[in-house]
Amino acid sequence: MSEYPFQFAVLRYVHDPATEEFINVGVAVYSREERFLKAKISQKYQRLSDTFLSANVNGSHYRRIANSLENAILRLHRRYQNELALEDLPAQIESVLAQVLTPDNSSLVFGRFGGGLTDNLTEELDYLYQRLVERYTDAEDTQRRDEEEIWRVYREEFDRLDVTRRLEMGVTLRSPRYDQSYEFRSAWRNERLHPLEPVSFDLVRPGSIREKANKWVGRSIALEGNEEIGTLYMLVGAPRRAELRHTYEQALLYLKNEMRLDCEIVEERDASEFSEKLAEMMSQH
């Protein structure tokens, strides 16, 4: 079995450069020989606020930065694979990451570097992310998947069909009836804006599943009448615990009956088929 040399870097959220307090929030892995560059970045911003009580972390802003950084790394990965000769690729991961995150006063910095050999670069990235980032999350978080983990399921299919780069990230839509706005992970546009939003129902309690479904119905009521919105695609993740399956199915039925927007609910098992459908719709517009 072949092994490939790789380098990794840990992405840190630095609350105060003077005190050098930080939390690990992501990992990047690079292999020059295999033209491989990928990253996983946590979007669990609540942990930042809980750790640094005076930080007042802006969740929407943090998610935008994290998404922008992941997308920049993905674009660079494609460039390394398709456009540059091997001898033109940087030898060190520090030089690679300097192209996507310059050392300045930003709260996000790459602050720990290492490397080794592996026979599977994607699995190595997952392992490092679990060991260096996820192991420090709260116990309840480890019992369920959040929206970021659900998004990755769909994004893998989007990446395969070159859909991701055609999406608008961090889209904000205002309610026509309340002084309120809502942010969506991504959207694609033709005559209207069609949001794509990961929604995790992989929760701990049945009541939490019902509460989340109610929240989304309330959001649809607030946005009803916004003429910019086309179809909302809810990219849902099911609970892993079998005893929650019935509550989950009830929640999906409730959403299908009560959502006030044109809404299509997509389950994980249909991620590949939906991605192909989305790619076809994009090609026609």
CB 10 within 8 A of CB 24: yes
- What Cα–Cα distance (Å) separates residue 160 from each residue in 46, 96, 116, 218? 31, 23, 27, 34
pLDDT at 260 over 90: yes
Residue spans per domain, the chain: 4-143, 158-283
Q: Which residues fall within 8 angstroms of residue 97, CB to CB, at 6 or more apart? A: 9, 28, 110
pLDDT digits over 113-170, tens only? 999 999 899 899 988 998 888 876 544 444 478 888 899 999 999 999 999 999 999 9
Q: Which residues fall within 8 angstroms of residue 2, CB to CB, at 6 or more apart? A: 119
pLDDT digits over 239-258, tens only? 988 889 999 999 999 999 99
pLDDT digits over 72-90, tens only? 998 999 989 888 888 888 9
Q: Which helix (H) or strand (E) holds 18?
A: none
Task: Specify the pTM.
Answer: 0.55
Rounded to 5 degrees, what are φ and ψ at 177?
-115, -20
Tell me how far apart the alpha carbons of residues 59 and 47 are, in angstroms, rounded to a whole number: 11
pLDDT at 174 over 90: yes
| Residue 205, both tokens | 């309690």
**pLDDT of the residue at 52:** 55
158-283 is classed in which CATH architecture?
3-Layer(aba) Sandwich (3.40)
| Burial category of 279 from C-beta neighbours within 10 Å (exposed 0-12, middle 13-18, buried 19 and up) | middle
The one-letter amino acid at 278? L
Strand order in 263-267's β-sheet?
A: 168-174, 181-189, 193-200, 232-237, 263-267
Tell me how far apart the alpha carbons of residues 221 and 69 are, in angstroms, rounded to a whole number: 33
**pLDDT of the residue at 141:** 42
Tell me how far apart the alpha carbons of residues 100 and 96 are, in angstroms, rounded to a whole number: 8
- What Cα–Cα distance (Å) separates residue 235 from each residue in 100, 179, 195, 215, 272? 28, 27, 10, 15, 12
Average pLDDT in the chain: 86
Q: Which helix (H) or strand (E) holds 174?
A: strand 168-174
Report how far apart the first and last C-alpha atoms of the chain are (Å, whole number): 45
Query: What is the pLDDT averaged over residues 94-113?
Result: 81
**pLDDT of the residue at 103:** 61
Tell me how far apart the alpha carbons of residues 271 and 198 are, in angstroms, rounded to a whole number: 11
**pLDDT of the residue at 48:** 63
| Residue 162, both tokens | 């070159």
Rounded to 5 degrees, what are φ and ψ at 21?
-75, 140
